[in-house]
Structure 1
Amino acid sequence: MRNLILSSLLAFGVAAAASAQQPASQPVADPTSQDAEVAFGGPDRVVISTASGDEHVIMAEIASTPAQKQRGMMWREAVEPGTGMLFEYAPAETASMWMRNTLVDLDLVFIDPDGQVVKIIAFAQAESLRSLGSDAIVGGVLELGAGQAVAMGIRPGDTIQHAIFGNDGADAAPVDESDAALDAPADAQ
């Protein structure tokens, strides 16, 4: 019996020592913390086609993972014209955004799963905790610097082209460079 107790204590001691030598699992960093490093996809080309026939190209970072969507544009001091962030919702859902830890005002463009603009919130106030909802099922939300949606004339019904909406033209036939050269003005060659 004494040997059994000693063996049990020895086994317990070895197990305790082994677990003490193993590093404790690191807690997952809060992606909304200022010092958290969150890598985004992209930047990808996003084409905005307005009802007036204008096309605008934005180079957008892509937020598709939960950590990327939680972080969004927090802690940024500026959003350069012609840039933004495209949040992907797959499967599509109603989305709600807020501006906590966002240091600049933004325009929020809510987009249905087919790439059609369903709602725009212009000049969303920096640092606001107010919930800014899509009021519809969306496949994405495009965040732009405040005033950009108005400057580009984006309205509900306009089209946003990107792979997440399946309308980016990636399946289109490739352009033959020799044909493009024939259509170019003579001084452009």
Structure 2
Amino acid sequence: MHPMKKSLALAAAVLAFAAFAQEPQMNLPRVKLRAGMHVIDAQVAATNEQRMTGLMFRQEMPQHEGMLFVFEQPSQQCFWMKNTLLPLAIAFVADDGTIVNLDEMQPQTTDSHCSTKPVRYVLEMNKGWFAKRGIKAGAKLEGPPFK
């Protein structure tokens, strides 16, 4: 292949990937979780690629929905909001479903929000979701991942 054609083909591939990468994840597997009497319909981000994209590029999210990030083993988890358009609340969750700590995150920032202890699960909801329902650190989430 001619070097110029090769360069154009590479540029086209990069642009196609960039366009694809800016699509929000809408079709991940889902799991029902409970926080007291509140039911959460959570998309599950379990692969590296799914976790890296998370809720980036989403324009909106229904109040009862969220995203549960599942890691292979407990460790300190840190999240930021680059390319995330929605303000979010984040819960760092132990294996038994206990919320270790909570934080609120502003859209399109690179501030780090980290778990205070090693955790395997992280749940993102719309900003204020936990506070509006009186859910604090120490509260327990219920659902299949925490059995």
Both proteins in one fold, TM over 0.5: yes
4+ long deviations beyond 6 Å: none
The two structures, once aligned, show a CA RMSD in angstroms of 2.2
CA change 1:38–1:148 in 2 (3 A) is closer
**Which residue type is aligned with residue 34 of structure 2?**
V
Aligned: 1:155 with 2:136: yes
**Which residue type is aligned with residue 83 of structure 1?**
E
Segments of 5+ residues of structure 1 without an aligned counterpart are 1-25, 50-54, 167-189
What residue is the counterpart of 1:62 in the other structure?
44
Identical columns (%) = 28
1:89 CA drift (Å): 1.7
Q: 2:32 aligns with which of 21, 38, 45?
A: 45
CA change 1:36–1:76 in 2 (3 A) is closer
User: Which structure is richer in relative contact order (CA contacts within 8 A, separation 6 or more)?
Assistant: 2
2:131 and 2:23 mapped to 1: Cα distance?
Answer: 33
1:156 CA drift (Å): 0.7
* TM-score, normalised relative to structure 2: 0.82
1:36 CA drift (Å): 7.5
* TM-score, normalised relative to structure 1: 0.65
Q: What aligned pairs does 1:25-174 form with structure 2 within 5 A after superposition?
A: 29=17, 33-35=21-23, 39-42=27-30, 44-49=31-36, 55-122=37-104, 124-166=105-147
1:140 and 1:90 mapped to 2: Cα distance?
Answer: 9
1:127 and 1:71 mapped to 2: Cα distance?
Answer: 13
Segments of 5+ residues of structure 2 without an aligned counterpart are 1-12
